[in-house]
Amino acid sequence: MNKNRTLVIMAAGMGSRFGGLKQIEPVGPNGEFIIDYSIYDAIKAGFNRVVFIIKEENFDIFKETVGNRIANQIKVDYVFQRIEDVPAGFHIPEGRVKPWGTSHAIMSCCGIVNEDFIVINSDDFYGRDAFIKAYQFLEYRERMNLKEYAIIGYKVANTLTENGSVKRGVCELEGDYLKAIIESKVEKEDGKIKASPLDGSNSFVVDPDSCVSMNFFAFTPDILDYLKNNFAKFLENNKDNIDKCEYLLPESVFAKIKEEGMKVKVVPTTAKWYGVTYKEDKESVVTAIKNMIDSGEYPQELWK
């Protein structure tokens, strides 16, 4: 029996800046979504299972669209990120409707994903090279029996939009390994790329080739227990900001580096990111995909 190589897609976000459920905004010539191209690239790279993390109320629309049209191409499973999934004895504050963040989303896979897996956002176009590099890392990790994770590192210049700032994790490296992630608002300004850390510390200029995280991780399944076991501590530490706090995956990974010495390899990719962060981005994404179809990278009908 062949082992699973699993793609986990975080698709429970609200898409507030876009103004809707941007995960299912058509960008391909036959109504394909960005998420379709990620799954297609993952299959080409060797992945054979996809797990969607969604809000329960979006189950029907996901299954009727993406789920049904890829069901004969790859094994499909769904898990729900529920705001009610909190430690026993914790009371959800009245008025809290926003999910608890990306670490909480991944926790939804406990008991469902028991093999090595990769994690991506649903509304980012990552490029096939990134999936190939991630698959190769998992194969190498297993073959060498390495106790480490990986993050796919993008050149920051390949991840920007002309329509405003974007949130990126600026990576600090120690050799080939991650030392820290500085979550920042990144944008072009006066011909330079400026990063403004979300913690309020001083802005700084980054080189176009500087490495940033796009929430594309490769994990072993032990990360799920770590996230679940530390969620209560996160809530306690954020009790004064419980209405708005988010349990975020990059911060959890960084904590595991500090607390347990976990090694996180930075695997570079030359791929270019595309995404619909703002409504104005859609046209450029549609054009980019058309150009890739014209060059033969993707078929005209993705799932034919």
User: Which tens digit of pLDDT belongs to each residue from 54-106?
Assistant: 988 888 888 888 899 999 999 999 999 999 999 988 988 888 888 899 999 99
| Alpha carbon separation from 260 to 29, 60, 208, 288 (Å, rounded) | 47, 40, 32, 42
pLDDT: which is higher, 98 or 205:
205
Specify whether the CB–CB gap between 276 and 241 falls below 8 A.
Answer: no
Level-2 CATH architecture, domain 6-294: Alpha-Beta Complex (3.90)
- Listed ranges 90-99, 134-143, 247-256; the one with the highest mean pLDDT: 134-143
pLDDT in tens, 26-55: 899 999 999 999 999 999 999 999 999 998
Structure token pair of residue 201:
């510390």
Looking at residue 169, the DSSP 8-state letter turns out to be E
Q: If you search the block for the tokens 């699993």, which residue do you land on?
A: 6
Q: Which residues contact 44 (CB under 8 A, 6 or more apart)?
A: 128, 131, 132
Distance of alpha carbon 212 from alpha carbon 291, whole angstroms: 25
Q: What is the mean pLDDT of residues 197-202?
A: 93
Confidence of residue 21 (pLDDT cuts 50, 70, 90): low
Task: Categorize the per-residue pLDDT at 2 as very low, low, confident or very high, splitting at 50, 70 and 90.
Answer: low
pLDDT in tens, 110-134: 999 999 999 999 989 999 999 999 9
Span 267-280, average pLDDT: 92
Q: What is the mean pLDDT of the chain?
A: 92
Look at residue 234 in the predicted model and tell me its pLDDT. Answer: 95
Alpha carbon separation from 274 to 16, 44, 91, 127, 213 (Å, rounded) = 18, 19, 39, 8, 14
Q: What is the pTM (predicted TM-score) of this model?
A: 0.93
User: What are the structure tokens assigned to 232, written together?
Assistant: 């209560």
> Can you tell me the distance from the alpha carbon of 131 to that of 134, in angstroms, rounded to the nearest whole number?
5
The domains of the chain are located at 6-294
Question: Is the confidence at residue 145, as pLDDT, over 50?
Answer: yes
pLDDT per residue as tens digits for the range 85-96: 999 889 888 888
Please report the sign of the dihedral spanned by the C-alpha atoms of residue 41, residue 43, residue 46, residue 48.
positive
Q: What's the sign of the alpha-carbon dihedral 230, 234, 236, 242?
A: negative
- pLDDT of 128 reads 97
Instruction: With cut-offs at 50, 70 and 90, classify the pLDDT of residue 271.
Output: very high
